[in-house]
Structure 1
Amino acid sequence: MSETSMLGPTMLADRAVLRVSGAEARAFLQGLVTQDVLGLTPQAPRWGGLLTPQGKALFDFILWADPDDPQAVLIDCEAARAEALAQRLRLYRLRRPVEITLTEFKVHWARTGAHGVADPRLLGLGRRWLGGPGVPGSGWHGHRLSLGVTEGVAELGDGETLWLECNARELNGVSFAKGCYVGQENTARMHHRAKVNRRLIVAPLAEAGERTRARYPELGLMVERRAVDALGDALVPDWLAAALAEPAPA
């Protein structure tokens, strides 16, 4: 069975879920991540990132409200990077009454159906939910890349790519209405000047070169950071084409 044909409900085995809890959990995250955490609800998760002070992506994740604790937040992140993310958050915690733990929740996905909620980045990505163990599958990655959506350290890099170059504005990964967070100054400046000269894109593997971030031979695709005036044969879905067509400010 091909990668892209397995679009039914499946557990994403490469994801893990952290829990940030305590009386100041939401306020703590609000001052760190790109998303508005205070307005998070169980039926509306949000994609966000933890950045360097220069506004470059270190971690990306999906934030979920914990239905059992109005102050707690569940962080749907890469399993291989979960401990590194937890350690990074603990560096910022200082003496705040906040706990950061790894949960037993698993992340599940389906292309269509009634389970879960819509992926906060793009409706076409399908449905997502947290639960117990399930049957792992491989259809998610091919589906995501076919829509031009990148994620994770292999594609976004570790402090190498500006958050808006990761298409964060177009994929609902940043709030420009909230207060300060790590990397906010440069991110806001780029947004208001509409100055995003490079983008992470998905392109045919045949175009791979020294700048290629991630290669997927089984899909014939790769991920690369390119100048917007040199996209070549990159996949340019409607959501990205609309952003690239926006006129630059006078």
Structure 2
Amino acid sequence: MAETTGYVVLEQRGVLAVTGEDRVAFLQGLVSNDMQAVTPERAVYSLFLTPQGKYLHDFMVAAEGDALLLEVEAARRDDLLKRLRMYKLRSKIALEDRTAERMVVALVGPDALARAGLPAEPGAAGAFAGGVAFTDPRTADLGARAILPAGTDLAALGLGRLPFEAWDSRRLELGIPDGSRDLEVEKAIPLENNLDVFNAISWDKGCYMGQELTARTRYRALIKKKLVPVTLDGPLPAPGTPVRLGDQEVGEMRSGLQNRALAMLRLEDLDRAAKEQIAFQSGDTMVTPHTPS
């Protein structure tokens, strides 16, 4: 974790707003988490899946006034808007892109949650600096997020700006995927990528897009591979580089930074490597998996 508490501007994130009296019911039937749980005091992390239960989008959802704010990948927000509009039908809602008027920041460091007035409880939310802040819904170990008016000066609150790497390194250490950097669109299975562990799925909310196959994957224990954090001894392999165990290809790399990265590996090979003390390799780099707490 960063030794200095500060903020990181997440320039790759955008903000969509869903307003109107049907906003909760509209999203409830489409996304993986419980929209009825979203209040000014609680935000959630959620997924928009294909009917086959494969990843399309992931986002934070926070309440602000009469709107549900979706904090999304900026580069892919038009695709999400298009998909949501397909299901609008007669719902009394409005969908807006508020990216130009908002900024998304991560608060990192040992005092990050205290500075935002938040407890170490995933999803705990409250007003902050003219916007809304919330403990990261995936794990409090990643600090807080905030959706603020564009141009907000956090220096007035005694917070200095930190580089993106201050947040990204901690994310990698914790094994948390970062949207389509790590999750293959229309291919990634939520449970293979630990999205259930990171609180993206409500198992008792009822039907949503992709719910049947997501539940089947869980209850039939169909997972054969997992996204895991790894440390590297050697050059950082590019995303998609194969990972080998001996002469056998057993997975591939995802995003990374310096000597940390994520890799998708088969569970049987993780067990085999541990038992036989065999090293994973990706190119010329030794890859050592870890199990985060």
TM-score of the two chains, using structure 2 as the length reference:
0.73
For residues 111-142 of structure 1, give each alpha carbon's deviation from its aligned partner in whole angstroms, at most 9, with x where no partner exists. Answer: 22321331110110101111123557312111
Contact 2:32 2:211 in 1 (8 A): yes
Q: 1:220 aligns with which of 234, 241, 259?
A: 259
SS of alignment partner, residue 229 of structure 2: strand
For residues 4-62 of structure 1, give each alpha carbon's deviation from its aligned partner in whole angstroms, at most 9, with x where no partner exists. Answer: 66751222111111001112111010000000001211221111100011111110111
SS of alignment partner, residue 107 of structure 1: strand
Residue 107 (1) aligns with residue 104 (2): yes
Which range moved further: 194-203 or 151-160? 194-203
Quote the offset at 1:202 in angstroms: 2.7
C-alpha RMSD of the superposition:
2.2
SS of alignment partner, residue 196 of structure 2: coil
Contact 1:154 1:213 in 2 (8 A): no
Please give the alpha-carbon distance, in whole angstroms, between the structure 2 residues aligned to 1:214 and 1:166. 11
Residue 191 (1) aligns with residue 223 (2): no
Quote the offset at 1:177 in angstroms: 0.6
Unpaired stretches in structure 2, ≥5 consecutive residues: 117-132, 153-160, 243-250, 271-279, 281-287
Residue 128 (1) aligns with residue 167 (2): no
Q: 1:150 aligns with which of 170, 177, 187?
A: 177
The residue that corresponds to 2:48 in the other structure is 50
SS of alignment partner, residue 143 of structure 1: helix
Contact 1:21 1:99 in 2 (8 A): yes
Which range moved further: 159-168 or 203-212? 203-212
Please give the alpha-carbon distance, in whole angstroms, between the structure 2 residues aligned to 1:79 and 1:52. 20
Partner amino acid, structure 2, of 1:194? A
Contact 2:230 2:290 in 1 (8 A): yes
The residue that corresponds to 1:248 in the other structure is none
Give the greater-gyration-radius structure (CA).
2
Which range moved further: 190-199 or 77-86? 190-199
**Identity fraction in percent:** 33
Which range moved further: 222-231 or 4-13? 4-13
Unpaired stretches in structure 1, ≥5 consecutive residues: 239-250
Normalized per residue, which structure has more strand?
2
SS of alignment partner, residue 230 of structure 1: helix
Contact 1:117 1:128 in 2 (8 A): yes
Contact 1:109 1:126 in 2 (8 A): yes
The ranges of structure 1 where at least 4 consecutive aligned residues each deviate by more than 6 angstroms after the TM superposition are: none
The residue that corresponds to 1:76 in the other structure is 71
Please give the alpha-carbon distance, in whole angstroms, between the structure 2 residues aligned to 1:188 and 1:74. 27
Contact 2:254 2:264 in 1 (8 A): no
Contact 1:12 1:136 in 2 (8 A): no
Which range moved further: 149-158 or 6-15? 6-15
Quote the offset at 1:213 in angstroms: 5.1
Residue 98 (1) aligns with residue 98 (2): no
Partner amino acid, structure 1, of 2:137? P
Change (3 A) 1:42 1:213: farther
Quote the offset at 1:157 in angstroms: 1.2
Contact 2:6 2:107 in 1 (8 A): yes
The residue that corresponds to 2:84 in the other structure is 89
Please give the alpha-carbon distance, in whole angstroms, between the structure 1 residues aligned to 2:173 and 2:263. 14
